Chain A
Amino acid sequence: MPISPILIQAEAVSREYRLGETVIRAINEVSLAIRRGEFLALLGSSGSGKSTLLSLLAGLDRPTSGAIRVQDRNLSELDAEELARYRRETVGMVFQSFNLLPRMTLEENVELPLRLAEVDRNDREPRVSEALERVGLGPRRQHRPSELSGGEQQRGALARALVNRPTILFADEPTGNLDSVNGEQILLLMREFQNSLGMTIIMVTHERPLAEKFANRIAVLSDGRLVSEGEPT
């Protein structure tokens, strides 16, 4: 099997927070390479820094030191506008609490990234339909998030992450608010995206069995440090 090129390269990345006089180092000198098309699980206990690392890799936050290179771009050197474009064009995100906008229908939620990317109105409808069909929510498009189950909401969030055809999908505890059946369904969908669309997936989880079942590689963090990485056993 040919080795894929490296898509994301984190080099000695640190992220510090200042709380009064105290400096909290959430991420401490983490270096990590993620290959194109890979499904990486970031595993660790609560407070280990895995969500912080995900935010840095997704361009939601900037490292205090170190470099994060994605497709020859150093995220820490991008200005706010360029970082927003990176999130809009390269990245798709799903969260533990789904984060669908409650005032909008499912269809409108999925359309939102297309609005932000200024995609032509005529092209939006087919892309929204395609994304919703892919997650099996075509008939629920006119429903508001409050009218959907947890699993459906997370599938809706996946459709929203998918609609801009991103290269990388970041998932922060995507099964955290779901039962095991729905959780597995979501991960199956993610793996399907990985296989059919060649998407690179980076998922934060604290559930080792799920990580071992779906991920190609597991990186374990503890106290902001990368303590181990390798293929699941």
Chain B
Amino acid sequence: MKTRDLTELAVRNLREAVLRNSLTTLGVAVGVASLVAMLSLGVGLQTLASQRLTRSGLFDAVFVTSQRDFRGARRPRSENSTPKKEARILDEDARQQLAKLANVTEVYPQVRFITEVRYGGKSPTTSVLGLPESSKGSGAFEGMTGSYFSSPTADEAILQVEFAKELTDQPATLVGKELVLRYAERAALSKESGGNGSFLEGMMGAAMPGGISIVPREKTLRIVGVIESDPSAGIGGFGGARVFLPLETAEHLHVAQPDDLQAFLSGDPAKPSYMALTVRVRSPKDVPQVEAAIKQLGFSTFSLLDATKGLRLVFMVFDSFLALFGSLALTVASLGIINTLVMAILERRREIGILKALGATDRDVRSLFFAEAGAMGLFGGIFGLALGWLIGRALNWGTTIYLHRQDLPGVRISYVPWWLALGAILFAIAVSLIAGLYPAARAARLNPVEALRYE
């Protein structure tokens, strides 16, 4: 029998016992709905976690350091040691080179220093950190009092609330006020710049062309925000500090850093170098390729990519459990299909006999019952998908209401990707066809003479 005829007959048969077939189809739909709801929850939570982690900067960052061994930089090599290729210095040239690599979005040093802050007669010492422009979208500063920096070079500061409390009892009132930063500025001394140069020359030998000077400075900054939580830490993260500045502003301060020693030893104090640089990539999946490219340039790298692999494994196990529970409902539904079709065989015994007497093959009869099971799976799958999606929407809605009551932004914890939608329908059809295997085979095996005798 042709497929179109088979389909027409199957749909007609389903329509005739509309109540029973509808209930069976509903059973499949409930099974699919539970599966979709469970898996969409798993997918949604995984997506949410991935998004949050990506925004945290933990997984889309590569930490770059020089391969230089400072302990032995100027030590004479032992006789039997193999001569190593000269390690590259992590300087401004290297920073520019890293920024030009494919899939790299941002390269920045970690400018962090301890300094004295003056405000209203108080002068506590605290940790200051320069924030790259990308930190704005990290989610770390969501819900803070005030606003983020007006520009990457603004003379502005964001305070961590605990530090703000050291300055005043009402931290929120600090927004718009000014504070003064007292710090030690580093300046390079050229060979010609004066007596210090000849002093250093005398101390270190003719190979040292210049030196550095440390000068106390003050900088007035406007407080634009007070952040409640401690921003997430990590590789290139923003944790640990209590006063935040735009990175460019912090860099222009030329605060004396421990790595100034490296610059001094490198032979050109006018050309600053970095202890480490953080390289941000477009997406966590680009990390291995960027890491390899950076290593090719002669630098050491470190990333938390392996941690994301572990995270995926955890979610895979989580999803498997959710799918298992969701599948239980579908298993019960498949028993409903078997029951419905076996009942249909008993009821339609005579019809099967007539079809066979008119020349239907065993395959025709089997296909007819298969088509009916498949149609129940298809309709149940589509209806179940819609139902599961609605359950997911309800979960999102409920969660968002709860979070809003806690003064937190809403999130989407349930998400139905296209592959889950398609997979759910195909799975429902597959389960229905498997459930239809036995009844269809039984119908096909019926002896036409006995079937025709059946009243």
Contact = CB atoms under 8 A, between A and B. Distances in A.
Are both chains from one complex? yes
Interface of A: 55, 58, 60-61, 80-81, 84-85, 87-89, 91, 93, 95, 99, 101, 103-104, 112-113, 115-118, 160, 164
B359 A116 contact: yes
Contacts of B363: 81
A117 B359 contact: yes
A99 B354 contact: yes
Nearest to B358: A113
Given A101-B351, A103-B12, A84 B361 contact: yes
B350 interface: yes
B204 interface: no
B347 to A, nearest CB: 11
Contact of A87 (B9, B358, B449, B452): B358
A87 B359 contact: yes
Contact of B359 (A88, A95, A99, A104): A88
Contacts of A113: 358-359
B361 A81 contact: yes
A60 B359 contact: no
A60 B448 contact: yes
B270 interface: no
A118 B361 CA distance: 12
A53 B356 CA distance: 18
B73 interface: no
Interface in B341-368: 350-351, 353-364
Given A60-B448, A85-B359, A116-B1, A101 B364 contact: no
Contacts of B356: 60, 84, 87
Contacts of B359: 84-85, 87-89, 91, 113, 116-117, 164
6 contacts: A60-B357, A85-B361, A88-B358, A113-B358, A117-B359, A164-B359
B113 to A, nearest CB: 85
Contacts of A112: 355, 358
B2 interface: yes
Nearest to A92: B358
Given A80-B362, A85-B359, A87-B359, A103 B16 contact: yes
A104 B357 CA distance: 17
Contacts of A91: 359
Nearest to A55: B449
B192 interface: no
Interface of chain B: mostly helix, strand, loop or mixed: helix
A112 B12 CA distance: 13
Interface in B1-29: 1-2, 5, 9, 12-13, 16
Given A101-B351, A103-B12, A93 B358 contact: yes
A88 B360 CA distance: 7
Given A61-B448, A112-B355, A118-B5, 12 more contacts: A81-B361, A91-B359, A99-B353, A99-B452, A103-B12, A103-B16, A113-B358, A115-B1, A115-B9, A116-B1, A116-B360, A164-B359
Contact of B350 (A55, A61, A99, A103): A99
B11 to A, nearest CB: 12
A116 B449 contact: no
Nearest to A117: B359
A118 B2 contact: yes
Nearest to A101: B351
A61 B447 CA distance: 8
A118 B13 CA distance: 20
B452 A118 contact: no
Contacts of A89: 359
The 9 lowest CB-CB distance pairs between A and B, nearest first, are A88-B359, A84-B361, A87-B359, A115-B5, A113-B358, A116-B359, A60-B448, A103-B16, A99-B354
Contact of B360 (A61, A84, A93, A164): A84
B394 to A, nearest CB: 40
A146 to B, nearest CB: 13
A184 to B, nearest CB: 25
A131 B137 CA distance: 78
A99 B355 CA distance: 10
A55 B2 CA distance: 27
A117 B361 CA distance: 10
Nearest to B13: A103
Contacts of B448: 60-61
Nearest to B360: A116
Nearest to B361: A84
Interface string B428-455: 0000000000000000000111001000
A115 B4 CA distance: 10
Contacts of B16: 103
Nearest to B354: A99
A69 to B, nearest CB: 20
Contacts of A87: 356-359
B449 A61 contact: yes
B10 to A, nearest CB: 12
A95 B451 CA distance: 13
A85 B359 CA distance: 6
